[in-house]
């Protein structure tokens, strides 16, 4: 069974994330969208809120699981039988960062392959941090996020 983990903060999930997961579906038998818990990071939304939005976004897709984890992504993959990490690439900065992470992960676990999907045109400018900025200043964030993400 080909299992991929799509790790991230998803603070909040955006149309960019949704696109990468949807396009990854034909490649894998199962994709686990895994929210990493990092004690040193300040999040805008609680873990429960972020998980709920992801679950609602993919509620019609049986091949997608949603989970939270802490610690090394490679260990989470091993514990869940995943041989693949799925990531998205938006720009050269993503590439440089992702290259270092993927090469390190492969040193930690030689079985693990990171699969990159290029952002779809029109979605490359979307990031969770920009969505948070728009939200903080009262802008229309709804055009950047799945319909499940609504902030009262």
Instruction: Kindly list the catalytic residues.
Output: 17, 41, 90, 128
Q: How far apart are CA 50 and CA 7, in angstroms?
A: 13
127 part of the interface to ligand ADP, by CB under 6 A: yes
CB 19, CB 119: distance < 8 Å? yes
Task: For the CB of residue 132, give the shortest distance to ligand ADP in the complex, in Å.
Answer: 11
126 part of the interface to ligand ADP, by CB under 6 A: yes
Instruction: Tell me the per-residue interface mask from 7 to 36 with ligand ADP, x by CB under 6 A, - otherwise.
Output: -xxx---x-xx--x----------------
Task: For the CB of residue 127, give the shortest distance to ligand ADP in the complex, in Å.
Answer: 5
Task: For the CB of residue 5, give the shortest distance to ligand ADP in the complex, in Å.
Answer: 11
3 state SS of 117 = strand
CB 40, CB 67: distance < 8 Å? no
Tell me the β-bridge partners of 128. none
Determine the interface stretch with ligand ADP among 22-30, 49-57, 83-91, 132-140 (rule: CB under 6 A): 83-91
CB 83, CB 2: distance < 8 Å? yes
CB 94, CB 88: distance < 8 Å? yes
Instruction: Please tell me what DSSP assigns to residue 141.
Output: G
Instruction: By CB under 6 A, name the binding residues for ligand ADP.
Output: 8-10, 14, 16-17, 20, 87-88, 90, 94, 119, 123-124, 126-128
């Amino acid at each position: 069974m080909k299992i991929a983990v799509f790790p991230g903060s998803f603070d909040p999930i955006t149309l960019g994330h949704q696109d990468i997961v949807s396009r990854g579906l034909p490649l894998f038998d199962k994709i686990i969208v895994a929210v990493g818990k990092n004690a040193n990071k300040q999040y805008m939304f609680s873990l429960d809120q972020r998980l709920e939005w992801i679950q609602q976004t993919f509620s019609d897709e049986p091949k997608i699981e949603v989970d939270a984890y802490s610690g090394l992504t490679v260990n989470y993959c091993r514990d869940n039988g995943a041989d693949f990490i799925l990531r998205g690439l938006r720009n050269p900065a993503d590439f440089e960062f992702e290259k270092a992470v993927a090469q390190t992960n492969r040193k930690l676990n030689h079985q693990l392959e990171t699969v990159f999907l290029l952002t779809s045109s029109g979605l490359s400018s979307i990031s969770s941090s920009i969505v948070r900025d728009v939200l903080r200043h009262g802008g229309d964030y709804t055009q950047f996020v799945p319909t499940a993400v609504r902030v009262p």
